[in-house]
Structure 1
């Protein structure tokens, strides 16, 4: 048995090494996005000459592929190029958050806080703690990408563990476990709105609760934490044992014992951050809070607080970072604070270049309607197979995971797939709640293995801080075990959860019509 296991692990490691080698031979991510842009242009010109009978559920009209190589389309592209780039949502999220985080980092506040945390966190529990924090970060939309993932590398490195293992564990929690969370977030009511609209195609009176998957998502958190813990400690980190940390020493934080001045500065800076959090809660608490939506809700996308997550992160790190900087002696003037922001932006220079090409590609792919054609035809193919309900659920999960490699936005995919999946399964006696849970599972599992994820190149940059040779293939080989394991085990967990009859969420059911 021991020999078999060893042989199996050896085969797995060889396969992952092959993925890394092949992946690292791919062009730079910015060039990949440019190539994809050109491919979309060419395919749009080809497929625009064809007539499709595929109906777009959003318009009830046949899908028409738009030719992006016409003179009018190219003129429109050139006229919008600047706004396409400046309007690229992940770019603003990353840069604004990093301005505040940069001050907290370069003032020494983050390093001092991590030192205190490391003193109280057992080494054996570091991985599940990182994954847990990564999962909870979903509540703050994209905060996990710009905050939790890089900090995980810092924490692992300070603990004497490989920093890339920490980054991989956090990436798995933030992105691979995207639909797993103990705390409801803005994505819940967003997806629910599409689900309800799709369900009303069959039953105009049906109402879907925004927390219809909350119980399953909460239970899934335990599954994701357990799987990521095992994979990080038993598969990923042993594989990284021979990978030397050769990054720029000036870019890798050093952890030394805090002197009395730094200890006092950390105390006051931490109290400042705590006061900011308490103040925010006090502002949010009244039903008439200006940060709530018109109905007094906090978690809808219309709520100002959900649209202000990144500025809140900026302030919650900027102000304590300044307090620590002045009290510890790191800062002596306002210029030092600006220098910290400048250094943070210097580290983001490559991401800005990559984001330019990424924004152009995503805009072109959406305008071409090629993504809609791919998603809808895949869903209709699955519908035409007329498989048993449980097999269809598995098919939805795997189809969603595949489509997710090409269409990144969770809500955009559900706007396309929901009007097909939800009515189809309702006619099989399956509730919209279960269909949505299956979709969210598949959508999460493949996030971490698609270079077309806007934040994927950013994670590569985080890794290069420690291992200069890190490329797309390196990150793919690290994340592939998480993705495949999540997809298989999580799917089995949903089927068992369904069989046992545990509640999916608030006001949810497994069958339609609900008994």
Structure 2
């Protein structure tokens, strides 16, 4: 296994810098789009209902528009604002010392042997906050492991596995549930116009999956990844050497008061969300709908929930003597994100061109067409869908975008052979989550590289891929087996869900 992972790391690190990789990929998309635009396809684009046509991005008009909209594409890149706003809030809590003492207390009460499952579990649960776990849980996972005297990249890997590999798991419903349900139901209605599906149709399965993902992540972290990282030296200039075992009475008092304020803010938010007429709900009373004010306020809430206790703690301990110290704390947190901002610029241009070309749609449709032609038994078909979704995820990162493309093909196809839309959606979620952690095309992958470089200067795509490959393989196999076990035992997938669809 060590030789295998070392081979992945060596090969991956021979790749260009991630920023240049996106530049090369952009050039490849431009060339391929010109070539495939001359080919006629029989596929129907499910998003438009028209024949699929690859757009020629080498057209002078498109290239002119691409250059003219570069700044708008960059500033409109969704992960950019989320990452920077969240990091500013977390930066205040870090620079004040609030997170440091919180970790000291956590390490005091958490046995060293349980740090790995705790980090993976918290990562999986963070799916309730949609993408916020990428910029919140992952760096904290590295800090916790470093503070406990363990390799920080092992903590980063465990957190990344929980957040991204376990994205479709969770103890509470998230915005992803109604988002995917809307696509699944509309896809099912292509075959059965009266078909209705509950947004929590996979909730029981995803709830139980949280613990399965935690156990698998724990095993991989301690048996494979952490031993593999023993030879990887941590950069002393970036690694914190602060003792995590002690704190004085003033720090303890400041932490307790800051934490009480944090709990009060949480209680106030809960009270605000509780009434049916709450301004944090949608018009129909939903809190977890993707369009609800609560879901759209996740990043500002993270900013405030770290900023306020961080400022209180800093003022009480003297870390922040005036408002300039607070602003400097935010500025310092931005310094570590400069390389990510550069990466985000090129990543945004590539993703825009790739989406405009329809090449991703062609890959999804051709793969789904092949699976349909194979006419395999139900269990094998489900495994095939999981594998195909994982492969498509290497090219199309967005969970909703992929399902919008392949859902209208997968769902009616499976209904025609007696497999329910709810089961098809559960299979899709496994394939999507399991391969999230190994695709550099995922929007947050550059962020993970930047976090890793805080501890290992020469960390690159190969470093992350070699760490995350074992998680991806075990998640794919173990989670698929868990779904098949659920199916074999007849356990309910979620509210109003079934496994079978009556074939006429």
> Shift in Å at residue 251 of structure 1?
6.0
> In structure 1, what is the Cα distance between the partners aligned to 2:128 and 2:74?
26
Residues 1:389 and 2:389 aligned together: no
Q: 1:197 aligns with which of 168, 178, 186?
A: 186
> In structure 2, what is the Cα distance between the partners aligned to 1:379 and 1:256?
54
> Shift in Å at residue 492 of structure 1?
1.4
Residues 1:136 and 2:125 aligned together: yes
> Aligned in 2, Cα 1:254/1:338: closer, same or farther, shift over 3 Å?
farther
> Shift in Å at residue 466 of structure 1?
1.2
Q: 1:227 aligns with which of 208, 211, 216?
A: 216
> CA-to-partner distance for each residue in 1:423-461, whole Å, 9 max, x for gaps?
001010110000110111101110000111111121111
Equivalent residue number for residue 400 of structure 1: 389
Q: 1:312 aligns with which of 301, 311, 326?
A: 301
> In structure 1, what is the Cα distance between the partners aligned to 2:183 and 2:93?
39
> In structure 2, what is the Cα distance between the partners aligned to 1:68 and 1:495?
43
Equivalent residue number for residue 14 of structure 1: 3
Runs of at least 4 residues of structure 1 off by over 3 A? 249-256
Residues 1:159 and 2:148 aligned together: yes
Q: Give runs of aligned pairs for residues 7-156 of structure 1, distance below 5 A.
A: 12-156=1-145
Equivalent residue number for residue 7 of structure 1: none
Structure 1 contact 247–468 (Cα < 8 Å) conserved? no
Equivalent residue number for residue 173 of structure 1: 162
Equivalent residue number for residue 300 of structure 1: 289
Structure 1 contact 265–323 (Cα < 8 Å) conserved? yes
Residues 1:439 and 2:428 aligned together: yes
Equivalent residue number for residue 338 of structure 2: 349
Equivalent residue number for residue 499 of structure 1: 488
> Aligned in 2, Cα 1:308/1:252: closer, same or farther, shift over 3 Å?
farther
Q: Give runs of aligned pairs for residues 454-469 of structure 1, distance below 5 A.
A: 454-469=443-458
> In structure 2, what is the Cα distance between the partners aligned to 1:252 and 1:461?
20
Count matched residues: 504
Equivalent residue number for residue 5 of structure 1: none
Name the SS of the counterpart of 1:240 in structure 2.
Answer: helix
> CA-to-partner distance for each residue in 1:65-117, whole Å, 9 max, x for gaps?
11111111011112211110000000011000111111110011110111111
Equivalent residue number for residue 318 of structure 2: 329
CA RMSD of aligned residues (A): 1.3
> In structure 1, what is the Cα distance between the partners aligned to 2:460 and 2:64?
35
> Aligned in 2, Cα 1:330/1:207: closer, same or farther, shift over 3 Å?
same
Structure 1 contact 112–258 (Cα < 8 Å) conserved? yes
Structure 2 contact 88–303 (Cα < 8 Å) conserved? yes
> CA-to-partner distance for each residue in 1:19-47, whole Å, 9 max, x for gaps?
00111111111111111111111111111
Structure 2 contact 239–455 (Cα < 8 Å) conserved? no
> Aligned in 2, Cα 1:152/1:199: closer, same or farther, shift over 3 Å?
same
With structure 2 as the length reference, what TM-score do the two structures score?
Answer: 0.98
Name the SS of the counterpart of 1:229 in structure 2.
Answer: helix
> Aligned in 2, Cα 1:124/1:103: closer, same or farther, shift over 3 Å?
same
Residues 1:275 and 2:264 aligned together: yes
5+ residue gaps in structure 2? none
> Aligned in 2, Cα 1:423/1:510: closer, same or farther, shift over 3 Å?
same
Structure 1 contact 410–443 (Cα < 8 Å) conserved? yes
> In structure 1, what is the Cα distance between the partners aligned to 2:300 and 2:142?
24
> Shift in Å at residue 256 of structure 1?
5.6
> Shift in Å at residue 497 of structure 1?
1.3
> Aligned in 2, Cα 1:478/1:260: closer, same or farther, shift over 3 Å?
same
Structure 1 contact 100–315 (Cα < 8 Å) conserved? yes
Structure 1 contact 84–359 (Cα < 8 Å) conserved? yes
> In structure 2, what is the Cα distance between the partners aligned to 1:350 and 1:54?
40
Higher mean C-alpha deviation, range 384-393 or range 330-339: 384-393
> In structure 2, what is the Cα distance between the partners aligned to 1:245 and 1:50?
51
> In structure 2, what is the Cα distance between the partners aligned to 1:398 and 1:486?
12
> In structure 2, what is the Cα distance between the partners aligned to 1:350 and 1:253?
26
> In structure 2, what is the Cα distance between the partners aligned to 1:57 and 1:107?
51
Structure 2 contact 389–431 (Cα < 8 Å) conserved? yes
> Shift in Å at residue 257 of structure 1?
1.7
Equivalent residue number for residue 429 of structure 1: 418
> Aligned in 2, Cα 1:484/1:154: closer, same or farther, shift over 3 Å?
same
> Shift in Å at residue 255 of structure 1?
3.2
Structure 2 contact 416–503 (Cα < 8 Å) conserved? no
5+ residue gaps in structure 1? 1-11
Equivalent residue number for residue 254 of structure 2: 265
> In structure 1, what is the Cα distance between the partners aligned to 2:140 and 2:503?
45
Equivalent residue number for residue 285 of structure 1: 274
Higher mean C-alpha deviation, range 309-318 or range 68-77: 68-77
